[in-house]
Amino acid sequence: MRRRVRVRFLDTRPLRGSHAFRDLWIGTSVSQIGGQIATVAVLAQVWDLTGSPVGTGAIGLATGLPMVLFGLLGGALADSVDRRTVVRATTAGQLLAAAGLSVQALADNRSVLLLLALVAMGTSCGALGAPARRTFPVRLLPGDQVAAGLALTNVSFQAAMLAGPALAGLIIAHWGLPAAYATQAVAMAVSMLAVIRLPTMRPEGADAAGGRRRPKRGGWRIVLRRPTLWGSMATDLSATLLAMPIALFPLVNEIRFGGDPQTLGLFLSAVAVGGITAGLLSGTVTRWRRGGLVQLSAAGVWGLALACFGLAGPLWLALGCLAVAGAADTVSVVTRSALVQLETPDAYRGRVSSVEHVIGVAGPELGNFRGGLLASATSAPFSLVFGGLSAVLAVAAVSAANAPLRAYRTPLAEPAGQPG
């Protein structure tokens, strides 16, 4: 009975059993909070400099393009050299960019181009190192703990999404923009220290000296050759491309809840609360071996919850639907990430991780754009209901066409890979 209660909660075995993973998790968690603080600071500074939504929209351009371009480049790099070296160098670049943001704020910079250039620099470094960083849990943990490690990372991300913006508001209000950017710089320094302490992470087949090598061919095509990989990524793309709701929140708030900005904030908070709750109770899910079936089910629940949100009248019901959607998203992300890492041979993990990264970045953005276009031609409720049900049907089609994904089972306790 005692064990039955315990497994319902967050599985902390990775933190207890792997000192290296614990260092990585702490560094990543701190850097995520710093990143959220910097995001709010950049938004505030750009608005102060331009007073225009076009200016704040340019932030998306300065971050979105580097994420895609350097994310793909980082995948090839991660399969060529020691991945720890890649993440060390890119984290150092992010630290320099954060320091640059602090300096320009102290100097009362009035050039929005300089500000966006520093933002693009930090984003480019982060995107370049993202594929290599994604491969760390599967090298540091036994196969049956990879999903638990990813769940822990997701919980820290969701917590940063909740706490970071509020903390940023306090810092900016009391000490100004330079302090907010300096906080991010300190956070990146902590992350850098954690990465330095990691063991070497040479790709499979690299020479003992850790020198550069030509990646094995077929690194991009392996996604299409393995049904579990393309099925998992297609499931995620179906859910985000067809049923992403964020762009519709202001319109739903306007037509149903009088445009109250507090209500709009509650929409975003409800998604995050659902995600954190699912993360804290993820011990059961991460121990289930049917990862493919779990991801398919969670993606279907995501679509249904957002369709119900489109029909919800009372505020409590709308927030409940969003919380369920946030919980389903967390379960889907954790199981997908674990499956992709465990199913990909180490020699290809960098490039496959870059594909996963790009889908994770581009899918939600395109999904928000699609939802906004459909809502402008019809209505927000129709866009939400149609998108949610379309996502359910698309996920069902992937499930029907992909028996290996439905049957996928997480490996047992033997390590999936060891540090070099």
Residue 86: half-sphere exposure toward Cβ, Cα within 13 Å: 32
In a shared domain, residues 157 and 237: no
What's the domain count of the chain?
Answer: 2
In a shared domain, residues 247 and 296: yes
Residue 412 has pLDDT above 70, yes or no: no
Residue 3 has pLDDT above 60, yes or no: no
Predicted confidence (pLDDT) per residue in 239-293, tens digit: 988 998 877 877 888 888 887 767 776 787 788 889 888 888 776 676 777 888 9
CATH label of the domain that carries residue 363: 1.20.1250.20
Q: Kindly state whether residue 104 falls inside one of the protein's structural domains.
A: yes
Residue 9 has pLDDT above 80, yes or no: no
In a shared domain, residues 175 and 281: no
Predicted confidence (pLDDT) per residue in 330-353, tens digit: 899 888 888 888 888 888 888 888
Residue 151 has pLDDT above 90, yes or no: no
Task: Give the range among 5-14, 97-106, 333-342 with minimum mean pLDDT.
Answer: 5-14
- Note the pLDDT of residue 376: 82
Residue 410 has pLDDT above 90, yes or no: no
Q: Kindly state whether residue 192 falls inside one of the protein's structural domains.
A: yes
Domain end residue (candidates: 196, 214, 234): 196
Domain that holds residue 92: 2-196
Arithmetic mean of pLDDT over the chain: 85
Mean pLDDT confidence for 141-170: 85
In a shared domain, residues 252 and 185: no
**Residues 14-49, buried b or exposed e (16+ Cβ, 10 A)?**
bbeebebbbbbbbbbbbbbbbbbbbbbbbebbbeee
- Note the pLDDT of residue 1: 38
103 contact partners, CB below 8 Å, separation of at least 6:
none
Residue matched to tokens 């079936």: 293
Q: Kindly state whether residue 211 falls inside one of the protein's structural domains.
A: no
Q: Kindly state whether residue 202 falls inside one of the protein's structural domains.
A: no
Give the bridge partners for 415, in sequence order: 142
In a shared domain, residues 50 and 142: yes
In a shared domain, residues 372 and 247: yes
In a shared domain, residues 192 and 227: no
More confident residue, 21 or 358: 21
In a shared domain, residues 177 and 324: no
- Note the pLDDT of residue 29: 94
Q: Kindly state whether residue 203 falls inside one of the protein's structural domains.
A: no
- CA distances to 65, 66, 228, 341 from 201, in Å: 28, 25, 25, 14
Q: What are phi and psi of 32, to 5 degrees?
A: -65, -40
15 contact partners, CB below 8 Å, separation of at least 6:
21, 22, 25, 152
Predicted confidence (pLDDT) per residue in 183-227, tens digit: 999 999 999 999 998 999 888 765 544 455 556 665 668 888 899
Query: Token digits for 103?
Result: 């300096």
